[in-house]
A and B are shown apart, each in its own frame.
Chain A
Amino acid sequence: MNEKNMKTTTQKLDLYQLHKQEYLAPKRPVLLSTTPAQYLSIRGQGAPGGPRFIECIGGLYGVAFTVKMTRKFAGQGDYAICKLEAQWFFEDHKAEKPKDEWVWNLLIRTPDFITETGRKQAVAVLLKRGKPPEVEEVRLETINEGRCVQMLHVGPYEKERETIAVMRLFAEQQGYQFTGAHHEIYLSDPRRVPAERLRTILRHPVVASKIAP
């Protein structure tokens, strides 16, 4: 399990490295453009850390690993599995909804050469192994967020509200407004990193504000 070894013996495709400009983590909000990106994803509802959430993470990683290793075994090249990301859907940001009603879409960015055939194969193999049924809910989807406001949030997930407020104000000052789903990219491992030092990239797509009548 030597890290150096694993990195030098295999030339791996790293999507975050390839699309560096989309994974900026600045302390102040910035505007940036994103290109359409393919993800393995799974949608659900419930509290973060709740049973449904955990099962979905398991299913998502199961498919991600199986797809990757099938390709690697066939000698078609290797790539690094990206970090976990998630979209969060809130109808109204100001209203505090009970956590049980939170709706999310868990994501792992996946190279474009992974196709629907690869996903289906992996799901079939996992089901044959008797793995939990969530694997069947894992989809391959392309998300096009276009122009976004992005900022690094440092601290507990519960305190993201303040960072989001800063991002929203910045967007408005630049003549934009929030649209679509709030997006998070988890850079830290919460078991290793104390809550106050957790690093999470927050992203929100924006569109030009409508001119006030």
Chain B
Amino acid sequence: MGQIAFRGLFKNAKTVKLSSAQFASLNVQMGARMRATTLRFYKERILRVLVEIQRRLDEPLPLVELARLAGLSPHHFHHVFTGMLGEPLKAHIRRLRLERAAGRLKLSRLPVVQVALEAGFETHEAFSRAFHASFGCSPTQFRRRNGDPARLAAVSGVHYHHSAQVRDFRAARRVRKIMNVKIQQLKPTVVAFMRHVGPYDQVGVTWDELLTVLGKEGWLGGPAQFIGICHDDPAVTLSNKVRYDACVTVDGNFRGQGGVSTQTIPGGDYAVMTHFGPYETLGESYAKLLGQWLPRSGRSLRTTPCFEIYLNSPESAEPEDLITDIHAPLEPQ
């Protein structure tokens, strides 16, 4: 990945890179072009889900089902939810269950162990620990105290309501830092790839194998790009089922061999955001792009997967110096 890493070594190199990639780019800054209509579109969908969660708080509430209710793919739904609510789905459900439990402690005479079970905890101890961590006192102490609200801090302003009334919420928004998102028009790209199925943090093994096979054949010279296609979101998929394609751009002469095949990444409009830092924190950037930028952009997502372009290599750069361009496919305007 080094030749990519050093293409930008000196300032002028950037221009070379842009022109060779042959895309026009249009800079849209978060906040500058907030679109009320799309924000409302996403809010309505998420609201539907929020009501459903409150109605069926005792049920398992699988993500796939809630995503379907919102009319979004599980991957995108997870990021939109986290980005807009300011907390991931699981944390949201857990918070509501704890708030409901706190209310029941106050308003009923149910034994603590029963409240614990109803809140989805398997033991009294687990419940007490979680309760203490959130409310700062034990369930029994909380029951005795007067005036403590059965609510936990939430940027969205959404709390447990006994008749599942959620009329509105505050969409989380990053105001301090300007989010740099570009819209790029990409041409279809042919890549050689190997598929990894399993924990996301083990994709390094697949990369190693792919780069060795392609490297000895001379495919890594010149303008080859290193791309990761994420078919599943590691945050919401069972870790042994995450599908990820390690890809290197090739030309039409490439013939598959030794577990390496080819595919074409579709062209079209992409929202592109650069992630600086370790791969472990990529999820946070996805949440910002899909959960905060997208709902205000006036654009909507295509159903093709997101992909990542790695601009440098973990072999030559420290984790905090890694640079990754996240690409989210957009419907044409």
Contact = CB atoms under 8 A, between A and B. Distances in A.
A37 interface: no
Given A6-B207, A49-B12, 14 more contacts: A1-B228, A6-B314, A58-B223, A61-B2, A63-B221, A66-B216, A66-B221, A72-B216, A73-B215, A84-B6, A130-B251, A132-B221, A190-B11, A192-B323
Interface string B305-320: 0000011101111010
A11 interface: no
B9 A84 contact: yes
B259 interface: no
Interface residues of A, number: 52
A51 to B, nearest CB: 7
A60 B321 CA distance: 23
Contacts, number: 154
Given A5-B205, A62-B3, A192-B276, A80 B323 contact: no
Nearest to B251: A130
Interface stretch (A28-36, A120-128, A144-152, A175-183): A120-128
A3 interface: yes
Contact of B203 (A1, A58, A63, A84): A1
Contacts of A65: 2-3, 211, 215, 220-221
26 contacts: A1-B204, A2-B202, A3-B279, A6-B204, A6-B207, A54-B13, A57-B3, A61-B3, A61-B220, A62-B218, A64-B2, A65-B2, A65-B211, A66-B221, A69-B211, A69-B216, A72-B216, A73-B213, A80-B315, A81-B316, A125-B217, A128-B218, A129-B217, A131-B222, A189-B321, A192-B323
A4 B279 CA distance: 11
A66 B7 contact: no
A33 B5 CA distance: 30
Contacts of B316: 80-81, 83
Nearest to B17: A54
Nearest to B217: A125
Interface string B267-283: 00000000010111000
Contacts of B279: 1-3
Interface of B: 2-3, 5-14, 16, 200-205, 207-208, 211-223, 228, 251, 253, 276, 278-280, 310-312, 314-317, 319, 321, 323
Contact of B9 (A4, A6, A190): A190
A70 B215 contact: yes
A58 B218 contact: no
Contact of B221 (A72, A126, A157): A126
B216 to A, nearest CB: 4
Interface string A101-129: 00000000000000000000010011011
A125 B3 CA distance: 17
Contacts of A9: 204-205, 208
A186 interface: yes
A131 B214 CA distance: 14
Nearest to A69: B215
A83 B8 CA distance: 14
Given A6-B314, A61-B3, A66 B12 contact: no
A62 B10 contact: no
B317 to A, nearest CB: 6
Contact of A58 (B3, B215, B276, B311): B3
B208 A6 contact: yes
A189 B312 contact: yes
Nearest to B226: A1
A7 B251 CA distance: 31
Interface in A154-196: 157, 186, 188-193
B205 A66 contact: no
A129 B221 CA distance: 9
Which of B9, B208, B251, B321 has the most C-beta atoms of chain A within 10 angstroms of its own C-beta?
Answer: B9
A69 B321 contact: no
B295 to A, nearest CB: 29
Interface in A40-62: 47-51, 53-54, 57-62
